[in-house]
A and B are shown apart, each in its own frame.
Chain A
Amino acid sequence: MAVIRDVMPAFELYQPSSVADAQKLLEQHGSDAWVLAGGLDSFDWLKDRIRKPKAVVDLSGIEELRAVRTTADGIEIGAMTTLTEIVSHPLIKQKYDLLAQAAEVVASPQIRNQGTIGGNVSQDTRCWYYRGGWPCYRAGGNICYADTPEGRNREHAILHADRCVAVNPSDSAPALIALDAKFVVRTPKGERVVDAEDYFIGPDIDITRLHILQPGDLLTAIRIPSTWAGAQFYFEKVRDRNVWDFALMNVASAMVTSGDRIERIRIAVNGAAARPLRLKAVEDAVRGKPRNAATGEMAGKLAVQGAVPLQFNAYKIPLMRNLVKRAIGGVEEATWAS
């Protein structure tokens, strides 16, 4: 059977106006259903005709999912809040700027106008073999084409690879981990709140998904506690092109210092593994240390321990080392006065 791309298959479209209705629809259609948030990841799958769901459940009409609310302890961001709304939200800018910084470098302005925070954290990997429709592990097959002797794997994982070497493409995910966000998941059994870092899973656990959502589950909101409000933040994304490019790697850290000592810190990187990695060992190692280049240096080296490069991605090791270093020790800004 020949393959053809770029013609969207016919499907039935459901546009529920409440989460409960959406859940009912998902339950009703089971594995034939496809959840549509902003759609920027979904439409690739559909237009490529690799996935042909019978029922598409469009969440864009659910008002309750699209808001930034203040809570007793921080804020709650509806999963369908767009990245532009996050970038321009005054409270987020003021207290949780780390997330705004991350959201601002996602893809392109139009994509940020449409793409949602829920979609950004739940999107699938962009491994070019997998997305090209190759029957790899992640697609249910029995091979990783990127991790073969000739595989082209410049953008693939250096850590925690398990058969599959794809990486998570999200820019907001590490920021949310650094902010100690909680993800609110509505399952058929009820609501479940998980730590940001536990929302993501590697291929060792489930090789076909990047997150914990099972068919029928919905990510409804992301809660950011006030724990890190107004902390010192660092976000950096390294990419080839300055628009429309996924991170080769990114880093996010939230830090509270007293004097020059690091009192509390959370740090995460993405683009290194199939899930955004919270660097707990680094956090433990730098706590109580002065915030300076030497500490950053040490942290960077610690962060890349155990990294295994593939043929074309060895650069990710110094990249991760340096990004972690900068996230902790800072960057010396260069200003060439004329």
Chain B
Amino acid sequence: MGFLEWATSPWGQSVPIHIAWFLIWVAAIAGFLFLIVHAIWLRYFAKPKEFAGAASPEVSARIPKHVPRHSLVARLFHWIMAASMLTLLFTAFLPKVGVQFPWVTYHWIAGAVLTVSILFHVIHASFWLDFWSIWPDKIDLEDAWRRVRRFAGMSAPAPRKFAKYPLENKLFHGVIILCGLSVILTGVFMMFRVRTIFFPRNPYLFSNMTWGLMYVLHGLAGVGLIALVMMHVYFGLRPEKLSITKSMVFGWMDRDFYLQEHDPERWVVETPPSSSSSSPSTSNRVEGRGLTDAG
């Protein structure tokens, strides 16, 4: 069985039309196996996390009870994106596995929402947020290497604490970007093939081969997202990550968790003079500063 479905074009040429739909199950099963393995690993085999160094008491004292992490706008973005992504995944793949409903309209609308929200995010993150905070830096890579060595039983210094985002988070974001941009870019063009409010239909915008590859890419990225979203949701629900998940809901992170996993040097949190509240304006301001700090 091939990974791609091929068809014979009206001119008798073989062209790919989309991925083989069994890949949906491959992705789902892969995602599921990952989380089973991960859960078992964590439950029975993993050693407690170790971080090198600890924040100095004065630094710790400076940290408010609620460490602002995500602005309201950022959170709104995340949840809109999550909703549209889930809509996209369900509308895309449920019909393929036999749950039939009129999915196309929801799919392209959700796709449009996702596209707009991601465009917003790119601009917002580039100019208003700490753009680099989500990308692995040198320390992340060194620490990753340390973890690998330690996992393999070799000697290595303990990895340091994280900056604003743990490495997994950053890597996940990277993969999401890859898959997300793939589906979005291909998806935007694919809207030329259905009736939307955006452009006049023109299914002949590209050659059969280009279209075919586009559908394949859309499909591959799509099934990739199945696995990725499963993992993301899984991690979001894991008890040890709940603080991170909560921060995406409420905008702030517990001071304890912050101190335990994050390095105040790498993720500088400026204390608001008055309180530890995490009003949107406040956190916005804090994050805004973060940008300059990171420079």
Contact = CB atoms under 8 A, between A and B. Distances in A.
Given A142-B17, A161-B195, A204-B102, A149 B8 contact: no
B202 A140 contact: no
Contacts of B56: none
B12 A2 contact: yes
A205 B102 contact: yes
B10 A145 contact: yes
A67 interface: no
Interface in B5-42: 5, 7-10, 12, 14-15, 17-18
A131 B101 CA distance: 25
Nearest to B8: A135
Say which size band chain A's interface belongs to: 20 to 34
A39 B215 CA distance: 35
A259 interface: no
Contact of B203 (A2, A148, A161): A148
Interface of B: 5, 7-10, 12, 14-15, 17-18, 95, 100-105, 193-195, 200-204, 211-212, 215
A163 B194 contact: yes
A134 interface: yes
5 contacts: A135-B9, A145-B203, A148-B202, A148-B204, A201-B100
Given A162-B104, A205-B100, A142 B18 contact: yes
Contacts of B8: 1, 3, 133, 135
Contacts of B103: 204
Contact of A163 (B5, B9, B95, B193): B193
A190 interface: no
Nearest to B190: A142
A205 B104 CA distance: 9
A204 B7 contact: no
Contact of B17 (A132, A135, A162): A135
Interface in A166-219: 201-202, 204-206
A143 B211 contact: yes
B204 A140 contact: no
B203 A143 contact: yes
A148 B215 CA distance: 18
B155 to A, nearest CB: 54
A141 interface: yes
A148 B202 CA distance: 6
A163 B203 CA distance: 10
A149 B202 CA distance: 6
A139 interface: yes
A162 to B, nearest CB: 6
Interface string A115-149: 00000000000000000111100011111110111
A67 B128 CA distance: 75
B7 A3 contact: no
A149 B204 contact: yes
B41 to A, nearest CB: 40
